[in-house]
Chains A and B, each alone.
Chain A
Amino acid sequence: MSAPVPPVLEARDLARSFGGVKAVDGASFSVEAGKLVALIGPNGAGKTTCFNMLNGQIKPDRGEVLLAGQPITGLAPRKIWRLGVGRTFQITATFASMTVRENVQMALISHAGKSWRLFGRADQRRLGPADALLAQVGMAEQAEHACGVLAYGDLKRVELAVALANEPKLLLMDEPTAGMAPQERIALMALTARIARQRGIAVLFTEHDMDVVFAHADRVLVLDRGRLIASGTSAEVRSNPQVRAVYLGSGVTSGGH
């Protein structure tokens, strides 16, 4: 009998407080390859803190993060990235002085371990893979545009392409559709879901828009005041009375805000 394959991401009893306030208090969950898992909860529930601990930006007070069974707790973000974790941000973070293609090229160059090269034009490197990624997210036509002048939705797509550049096992997406028009949201998450399933990538995302969550998430984790209060399929979570109480209490129901 072979050992069971560990999940791509596993969080065990993560906790972190700021000045006595427990932002995250003992969260445990896991994400499997090819699955989209949504992490939801009202504002201040601890979603972003949770994310930042997974990504290495914040060190947890307690608990462990495992990537494919390997502990990555407390590693620097760039080391976690090297192990195969892509990340998108709530407020898009791209390189404004580069073109769309160069943004992706930069990530590819870094993935290939060539970012310290002192000669050879960077914009001539890894053109093919960059264009392929851009085609995948539907940004091929705007490859030559400066990132500084793109529309917000397009920036999100660029971020996705950048996040995919290191052939990640895991994608961490913090509010991937924030600030987008409803139509675009559905399209972007559909795209993400397709890519994730194709490549067997595990995706953990936070989201405010419940339509997006219930349409695409294979599983939903609900965080409230730092604690995980529910976990299950969309239907299970939707019918969970505790979840309903939390969301009704905060005035948010399914169907967006």
Chain B
Amino acid sequence: MQIDRRSFVAGTLALGVPQLARAQGAGPIRIGEINSYTAQPAFLKPYRQAWELAQEQINAAGGVLGRKLETVFRDDAGKPEDAVRHAADLATAEKVDIIAGGFLSNVGLALADYANQNKRLYVASEPLADALVWSKGNRYTFRLRPSTYMQAAMLVEEAAKLPAKKWAIVAPNYEYGQSAVKWFKELLLKARPDVTFVAEQFPALGRIDAGATVQALEAAKPEAIFNVTFAVDLANFVRAGNTRGLFEGRQVVSMLTGEPEYLDTLGAETPEGWIITGYPHADLQTPEHVKFRDAYKAKYNDYPRLGSVVGYETVQAIAAALAKAGATDNEKLVDAFEGLKFGSAFGPIEFRKIDHQSTLGAYVGKSAQKNGKGVMVDWSYRDGAKYLPSDDEVRKLRPAV
């Protein structure tokens, strides 16, 4: 009733004309994409480029359901409250059919909560927080990237094989760092009850005092180190650690370090032999990846980063869901996402019905240097499906919705 009156008035005043003209069915299918573009440009510039590439490819092939895809990008500047505002604005003003995006965990959680409250589909592309699909999981939220838990589980598998018993930990002081540490400790202790953790350092994100941190870790004389820092913290930590010999004779297990976004910065400082998760873009020669990489190179004259893969596959997932649902209806799309299967550059993946987590995996390998550049060697793909807890455990973690 109210809406009718209002849209009537709005129509009369010609304020709502663009919205009315964009009525269901005829025009493009609209996606609202929210991300921390100005706050996290290193990951998100390649992300957005690949997103646009995927959209272009799909539209060139005739679009989905006979309609083209169109994306409205919004910058949340790293603030969850801005992301929520954009979500509402995209939903009401831009009349988008799907909301997607998110890099920081808290932005992802805020958007998921918005999605739940407003009963709107939200495709979380990158946020790693476990809560997104478990403790705070809801019917309307789906996540593409392997979560903190999954990446920790992949690394624990390797860490457990190491002889080291005394571990030190360094992680950024926020939710991602803390939960990575929590899972790593829990899972490693389960696999290796004989290990102990002798030191923990939690530098503020982006503000590591590298020399002092390295010294504090060194003082604990660990046999192995688990690192969760990334980006600028990682670079500073590695340089200080190299000069001070922290890594000599020690095994290091390190999360996200193999992603080109972070490995490229290290260059000639790249340490040898760390066990890392990441993305060996140059050496991954599967046909589906080569196709993606060539297309990306052709368009941007640059190699893809992990962000590119995430951006590209988010669009693919949305397209696949649209095709499966056969409509842009919100509830139908949500149903379509449950158990949605599609082929990615990393191989076939599925959005699990049980917790809405995709089975996209990650590559685990070793860090090495080649011509003064950081690369991943001895890598292998770890299918995300194998690094999730049992269904019973998931049911306990995820409240019934």
* Direct interface between A and B, CB < 8 A: no
Binding site for A on B (CB under 8 A): none
Binding site for B on A (CB under 8 A): none
